[in-house]
Structure 1
Amino acid sequence: MSESETTGADQGPVAMLDDDGCWELLGRQQLGRLVTHVGDVLDIFPVNYVVDDRTVLFRTGEGSKLFELSINDEVLFEVDDHSDADAWSVVVRGHASRLESAAEVERADGLALTPWIPTLKYNYVRITPTSLSGRAFRRGVEPDRYGIQQY
């Protein structure tokens, strides 16, 4: 996606994305990185996900992700992509919570969120954002670092 499509204006090689642009790009991908923080330990996990009503939903089995989220629900979630011409990155800051009610799980089951690897993942986790940030990048050749610089 070009930066003018996500921001409405040409802002040079780096452009800030608005919330709508961030959600549009998040909706195009399926793989992101979940960052958890417990005590002095930061962990990062690749997870496949879906966007659901301006939240991020993923599935997980019992294990370290679910355990860490039960201790500290504050997370970062990052997704990016690139082509030869451009690139982008979106970071979601928010709180993760396991879906508990039968109605929530039944609704989530209808979102076609299936594991990428053949393991059982009974737990749905929703990331509710407190903030979004995103940037789009126009790729190109690095400017001459040693030539005459514009002032």
Structure 2
Amino acid sequence: MNSYAQPTNKLTFDECWEFLAGDTLGRLALVVDGHPEIFPVNYVLDRRSIVFRSAGGTKLWGAKADRPAALEIDGYDPRTEVAWSVVVRGDTEVIEAQADKDAVDAQHLEPWQPGPKDYYIRLNPLALTGRRFQVAKPDVWNTRLSDRRRASFE
């Protein structure tokens, strides 16, 4: 099998949760004013859901709307030359109960961006998918210097 025909392996449900637990930053996709918007968010896992904090802006409005949302994380390990991606699709809700907020705070959910982030938003998964694949070896002479795959050769 040549390097261009490497199989893509689906991640199990538990593997997806392990990758989510091992990361802290994802991209949240919401429908805002009839079109998709993507926001970087730092998050924690709480009771098999994803929780992030937000100010009272677009993310909050999108989370309160009765529309689907998604969170995506991905990564690449230059040592093994394996890439992976996990996508969570579901519904969002604003957390109101102080006990739930305290449980999230105990996990040190600290916003990365300065400013007040007083709203706690939960993404409740309805679908969880992931994949892992061996990346094609780069053509070291022609591949951009910023390409992560080059790290395994340098």
Amino acid at match of 1:19: F
Structure 1 counterpart of 2:150: none
Are 1:56 and 1:126, in contact at CA under 8 Å, matched by a contact in 2? yes
Structure 1 counterpart of 2:119: 123
Match of 2:134 among 131, 135, 138: 138
2:68 maps to 1:95:
no
Match of 1:51 among 39, 45, 54: 45
Note the C-alpha offset of 1:73: 4.1
Runs of 4+ with deviation above 4 angstroms: none
**TM-score for the superposition, normalised by structure 2:** 0.79
Amino acid at match of 2:115: T
2:35 maps to 1:41:
yes
**TM-score for the superposition, normalised by structure 1:** 0.81
Note the C-alpha offset of 1:81: 0.6
> How many residues end up aligned between the 2 structures?
131
Are 1:31 and 1:46, in contact at CA under 8 Å, matched by a contact in 2? yes
2:22 maps to 1:28:
yes
Distance 1:38 1:71 in 2: 9
Alignment of 1:77-92 (within 5 A): 77-84=71-78, 85-92=81-88
SS in 2 for 1:115: coil
Deviations 1:23-68 (A, max 9, x none): 0011111110000014521111000011122111111111011012
Distance 1:136 1:52 in 2: 24
Are 1:81 and 1:88, in contact at CA under 8 Å, matched by a contact in 2? yes
List runs of 5+ in structure 1 lacking aligned partners. 1-11, 143-151
Deviations 1:104-133 (A, max 9, x none): 122222110001122111111111100100
SS in 1 for 2:110: coil
List runs of 5+ in structure 2 lacking aligned partners. 1-5, 139-154
